[in-house]
A and B are shown apart, each in its own frame.
Chain A
Amino acid sequence: MNKNIYILGGEQTDFQRNWAKEGKSFVAMLREVVDDSLAKVDIDYAELNTLNKANDVAAFIGNFAGELYNKQGHFSAFFTEINEAFYGMPCGRYEAACASGSIALEAAINKILSNEIGLALVVGVESMKTVSPSVGGDFLGTAAYYDKEAKGLDFPFPKLFGKLADVALARYKIDETRFMDALAEISTINYANAKRNPKAQTRNWFMNKEHASKRGGEFNMDVGGRICITDCSQVTDGSASVFLASEEYAESYAKKRGISLADIPVIKSWANRIAPLTFDKKVAESKGQPYILPWTRQAVLDAYKKANLSVDDIDLFETHDCFTSSEYVAISAFGITEPGKEHEAIEEGIIDFKGIKPINPSGGLIGVGHPVGASGVRMMLDIYKQVKGVAGDYQVENTKNALMLNLGGSATTNMVFIVGRS
């Protein structure tokens, strides 16, 4: 791969907002995030319109379950509700459960690489607070094999990721206290990191290690075996977007604005691997193997290989901590430790904000929030910000390369991107 994909920037909504309470639909969310992103990258609707006339721009939207949460499909058509500059533009909606944002990113990259367009707007959006948590929990079950793994269950996903914790404990024979302490530490770190992020849903919530460790009872209920409330990501309304560009567009963009092309972060590699759908099949497939989730590991290896990088070159990670157990196994998938030794990295402070391999400086899905279809794009925006050096209070100094892992379902869709400087 010789051509670079440039990231011009983007924006996310404040994940603390409850749009249902504000009486606003996903259309308002889409309008705000697109308007804000355009302002951020210094492109206006007139420029978008000109590019559209030349058929040099397209828009991609990641959304998981609009039909359920909003009783609305065909999300890609809603770009035209925002501004007439979208009339006639190639637009598409992309869905891969919680990896919907990433699958939209991948589609945008491919369209740029095929020389069809110079500029791509990629948006992820999910408005989830339209229903109660239990109804929403049932909707989320459609990211699994609904009939076999979710139907009739309260909160099916915490239960699936609770099983992941069980398998990790059994397979690696980790001391249970140590393991549970590591999960509590993951939660604590994500909440603490989110306090530096002005767009994080939990930035004003109270959390400490003691609370995260005190499982069960009224304030930290068990929702899925070992998984309690503090181990879970949030139900979030939110949207994020980024503009991706071809080298040609990025060059002229940089020239017009008097900036150096070398200062614009690029997507160095990406990978997409799908694992067997049901959790039980995943476990059966990986029996006797070092990794419980071999396809997650494979996606990471693919991305390292394509970018000609290794874990040593990655300065920080944004991972899919839908639950503490998913972040736990990601640590070895990234190659930070051997599988089964993840707790050692946690205990040694390696993944802390100030550690040598920080994970989720943004706060992750647990701290920032998890608007399902938007999370992949939000992660891309965050690793872009880190490489560009514009992450504000949650900036990790001297970030040259950053990696994101976005999962769909019970680690069924595995998508990895590496962002760095060209």
Chain B
Amino acid sequence: MKEIKTVTILGANGSMGSGSAAILAGFGGMKVYMLARTLEKAKEGITKAVKSIRSDVIIEQMIPGTYESDLEVAIENSDWVFELLAEDYAVKESMLQKINKYKKPGTVVSTVSSGLSISRLAANLDEDGQKNYFGTHFFNPPYKLVLCELVAHPGSDSVLFKEFGGFLETKLRRVVVYTEDKPAFAGNRVGFQLMNEVAQYAKQYADKGGIALMDEILSGYTGRAMGPLATVNFVGLDVHKAIVDNLYETTNDFAHETFKMPEYFEELINAGSLGLKSKVGLYKIEKNADGSKTKFVYNIETREYDICPKFNILFIQEAKAKIGDGDYQGALDIIKNAEGFEAELCRYFLAKYISYSLSLVGEVVETKEMIDMAMGFGFNWVPASALVDLLGGVAAAKEFLKAATVEIPDLLEEAPLDQKFYQINDILDARSLFRSK
């Protein structure tokens, strides 16, 4: 692989474009062409990049420009062209055809796409371009979330793929998950499976607390910073729809039906209630006259917003207290033994998460460590393998899955019983992902 000194960022004004550019200029020390539709937007991207990395020393390495006037010069001079345009085949394909015209041989071209087919996009490039084309799925915000899913396609050069991965790891300080060109890759496939199925269950349990209840049952004590539906609200219901619709259409595994987006999501999207970005979605926050804030949650039955209820579910309170004291095993023991439908739901989803994560090894990634890295670094969720250990090891985890009537994946079925299952403790202390609040 030739040395990468100059990069073109396409979509420089977006949060991913500006955030990624900051990483390349900062850690990579690269010269970065910041291209957007207008010069003003490109300059906005530079300001955002500086803010994201909290240093203005990168300004001098950044050259603002537009697609109309500067594309040819930028691409001709670049060793890597990183495209971060809208998640739309037409937009990306038309840009790739232009890139193909201007690029030098050996230039790496990549897309940040979180779900489009990399091989279909690659087909817009010549043979050399295809060899050097990858998915580089950075996570938002790139300075805080260090994950990059590096996606190969059948025409990409396997040696270059590894070399480029090494470059992302060492020079750009990314945690690289090497994945196949499968729908939604590793992290989003697992993450959106859980989030969408939780959304389905919220409808089923609408009379018991719906969205808020499901987020409480799967709150921080189960190993995540934010409840699954709060996460949907954060990323946007429209983004959620794009990912799960694609997965429903293009995958056909045992989780297939769980990718069917619930109708109330469609209704909210049609009403423009997309989540945090539109200030209203599954949740909304309103400011009161005295300056305090009230959190509301969408009531699936009445289609109104209710004040977010406080739940007092005993086993959850007990498990949270254990987490607060750093007794993770103790918390998991409480989850294992608690009674009531809330505990059953909690166990079901933890079991399903473990099962689905491990079932993708072999199809999407080569090793379970790759899935663990994707979930730990991309979603801040406790990786499946770490949960296996905390549940008491492989044998206990199998029992746990069986009791929750969840499929036991081959990888777990065949795993040695006497070894630690979680192998990436040296790069990610899974305990740090549990929250007591």
Task: Map CB proximity to A onto B312-345 as digits: 1 under 8 Å, 0 otherwise.
Answer: 0000000010011111000000000000000000
Residues of B within 8 A of A210 (CB): 57
In the complex, A218 Cα to B47 Cα: how many Å?
A: 13
Given A22-B432, A198-B426, A206-B143: A29 in contact with B27 (beta carbons within 8 A): no
Query: A27 contacts the other chain (Cβ, under 8 Å)?
Result: yes
Cross-interface CB contact of B435 among A23, A32, A195, cutoff 8 Å: A23
Asked whether B56 is an interface residue with its Cβ less than 8 Å from the other chain, the reply is yes
| Contact indicator A23/B436 (Cβ below 8 Å) | yes
| In the complex with contacts A206-B54, A206-B55, A17-B326 CB distance below 8 A | no
What interface size band does chain A fall in?
A: 20 to 34
Verify if B297 is at the interface (C-beta below 8 Å from A): no
Contact A22 B434 (CB under 8 A): yes
Q: In the bound complex, do residue A23 and residue B432 qualify as a contact, i.e. CB atoms below 8 Å apart?
A: no
Look across to chain A and name the residue whose beta carbon is closest to the beta carbon of B54.
A219
**Other-chain residue from A32, A198, A217 in contact with B427 (beta carbon distance below 8 A):** A198
Q: Would B324 and A14 count as touching, CB distance under 8 A? A: no
Contact mask B91-102 → A, CB, 8 Å, 1/0? 000000000000
Kindly state whether residue A214 has any CB partner on chain B within 8 Å.
yes
Is B245 in contact with chain A by the CB < 8 A criterion? no
Q: A204 to B325: give the CA distance in the assembly, Å.
A: 27
Say yes or no: is A208 at the interface (Cβ < 8 Å to chain B).
Answer: yes
User: CB-defined interface of A20-43 with B at 8 Å, one 1/0 digit per residue?
Assistant: 011111011111100000000000
Nearest-Cβ distance from residue B170 to partner chain A, whole angstroms = 10
Q: Which of B249-295 contact A (CB under 8 A)?
A: none
- Interface size, chain B (Cβ < 8 Å): 29
Which chain A residues lie closer than 8 Å to B40 at the CB level? none
Instruction: Give the shortest distance, in Å, between B321 (CB) and chain A (any CB).
Output: 10
Are B57 and A32 in contact, with the CB atoms below 8 A?
no
CB of A77, distance to nearest CB on chain B (Å): 15
Interface residues in B46-65 (C-beta closer than 8 Å to A):
50, 53-57
Shortest Cβ distance from A199 into B: residue = B429
Any chain B CB within 8 A of the CB of A211?
yes
B434 partner residues in chain A, CB cutoff 8 A: 22
A30 to B327, CA, bound (A): 11
Interface flag for B37 (CB, 8 Å): no
**CA A14 to CA B53, docked complex, whole Å:** 22
Q: Are B325 and A31 in contact (CB under 8 A)?
A: yes
Q: A23-B220, A211-B57 are in contact. Are A28 and B427 (CB under 8 A)?
A: no
Taking Cβ atoms with an 8 Å cutoff, the residues of A that contact B are 14, 17, 21-25, 27-32, 81, 195, 198, 204, 206, 208, 210-211, 214, 217-220
User: Taking beta carbons and an 8 Å cutoff, which residues of B are in contact with A?
Assistant: 22, 26-27, 29, 50, 53-57, 143, 146, 173, 220, 320, 323-327, 426-427, 429, 431-432, 434-437
Sample 27 A-B pairs with CB under 8 A, ordered by A number.
Answer: A14-B432, A17-B429, A22-B436, A23-B220, A23-B320, A23-B324, A24-B323, A24-B325, A24-B326, A24-B436, A25-B324, A25-B325, A28-B324, A29-B326, A30-B326, A32-B431, A198-B426, A204-B146, A204-B173, A206-B22, A206-B26, A206-B54, A206-B55, A210-B57, A211-B57, A219-B55, A220-B55
Shortest Cβ-Cβ A-B pairs, 9 listed:
A28-B326, A23-B436, A23-B437, A31-B326, A206-B26, A210-B57, A211-B55, A211-B57, A206-B53
